[in-house]
Amino acid sequence: MDEPRRVILLGATGSIGESTLRILRAHPDKLQLVGVAASSSAAELAAIVREFGVPHAALTNDEAANSAVRDGLFPPECELHCGEAGLTSIATVPEADMVLVAVVGTAALQPTLAAIEAGRDIVLASKEILVLGGAFVMEAARRAGVRLLPADSEHNAIFQCLEGHPERHLDKLILTASGGRFRDRDPATLGEVTPEEATDHPNWSMGPKITVDSATMANKGLELIEARWLFDLPADRLEVVLHRQSIVHSFVQYVDGSILGQLCPPSMTFAIQHCLLHPERAPGVDETLDFSQALTLDFAPVPAGRYPCLDLAYEALRSGPVAMAVFNAANEVAVADFLARKIGFLEIPKVIRRVLEQCGDRFADSLGDLLGIDGEARRLAR
């Protein structure tokens, strides 16, 4: 890297954004922030712009954008991109080298495709993009000759373990899962779970939606679907194993029976920095494992029937791209309603199953068709 790599950060005010900013502060000689985007956290975004001297910012919430303009929150030398269209325009500014996508949900699909078409490398921290449009995103990346670098800790671990090994040597991928907040709780009591309990993860500090997904293991189901697109493997070569400590982030098993794993503490900074600097490495911003201290790692199979959302994800994975997209859409709506106290914790998989039964067997031969089915699945879920 002769010059700093210029980065656009979509989702700058979330937990992934916060981890990314820590990395940028640690490596100003290697990374330069040239664009940031958020939904409605205008004051927080403006503070980032001033700290890093960012020339481009985007607020997708129109009311927040109008208020920011009216109050003069952003310095005059920063161009403010507004509304949903602003996310696409900032993702394609000419001075960027790569776009880190950390927007929760599917809102960043079109901006990501636009950034790929513009020739930008993509650091992917939003799994829903591949879950909804995996075939189209992967094809667009191949056509444009850009890199898709996975920042989810599980997929980044696999990416690291695969480097230098020919594809024909690969047997299967094994994703680790903590088991979430309720891994030891009596299943008979899960109907009493509150949003406050479900958003308290035992190992990771994440946003509310992804933390609920971890508790239901829908998140691991989404990661299986993402792995299918990233690494082009069918469902029967993708496994999940419970690993309470979240130290081993995934395994790669080769045809000779050898298994490689990637280890680091449960902080997203390790995976994000690996992507931002790849193929270079530099000192990390968090302390790594200390083997002068006792360390216990344990693994166990996923108990049958314990996580119905994971079972539904496997069903969707085997059914095809439309079912994968429907699974994601129904889960997003169900989790949002759970967090709003409109439904109970155990109703989340019931909503997903009913929506899959009604529109999971559709066919889509274009991204427009798939987006239409996504919208219909959301209406059905509501």
Residue 50: pLDDT over 70: yes
- Which of 10-30 are b and which e, b meaning 16 or more Cβ less than 10 Å from the residue's Cβ? bbbbbbbbbbbbbbbebbeeb
By the 8 A CB rule, do 30 and 88 touch?
Answer: no
Q: Does residue 22 register a pLDDT over 80? A: yes
What confidence tier does 181 reach under pLDDT thresholds 50, 70, 90?
A: confident
**Has residue 86 got a pLDDT over 90?**
yes
The reported pLDDT for the residue numbered 104 is 77
Q: Does domain 155-264+303-381 have CATH number 1.10.1740.10?
A: yes
Has domain 5-150 been given CATH number 3.30.450.70? no
pLDDT at 52 over 80: yes
**Model pTM score:** 0.93
Q: Which residues does the annotation place in the binding site for NADPH?
A: 13-16, 128, 207
- Please state the residue numbers annotated as binding site for Mn(2+): 152, 154, 223
DSSP state of 284: -
Model confidence at 85: pLDDT above 80: yes
Domain ranges (residues) in the chain: 5-150, 155-264+303-381
Binding residues for 1-deoxy-D-xylulose 5-phosphate: 127, 153-154, 178, 201, 214, 219-220, 223
* 233 burial type by CB count under 10 A (0-12 exposed, 13-18 middle, 19+ buried): middle
pLDDT category, 204, cuts 50, 70, 90?
low
Q: What is the pLDDT of residues 303-337, one digit of tens each?
A: 999 999 999 999 999 999 999 999 999 999 999 99
What's the whole-number mean pLDDT along residues 99-128? Answer: 92
Annotated binding site: 13-16, 127-128, 152-154, 178, 201, 207, 214, 219-220, 223
Confidence of residue 71 (pLDDT cuts 50, 70, 90): very high
pLDDT averaged over every residue in the chain: 94
pLDDT computed for residue 364 by the predictor: 86
pLDDT given at position 205: 65
Q: Does residue 296 come out as left (phi exceeding 0), alpha (psi in the -120 to 50 range) or beta? A: beta
Averaged pLDDT for residues 58-85: 94
Q: How many CB atoms lie within 10 A of CB 194?
A: 12
Dihedral sign for Cα 233, 234, 237, 243, please.
positive
- pLDDT of 360 reads 78
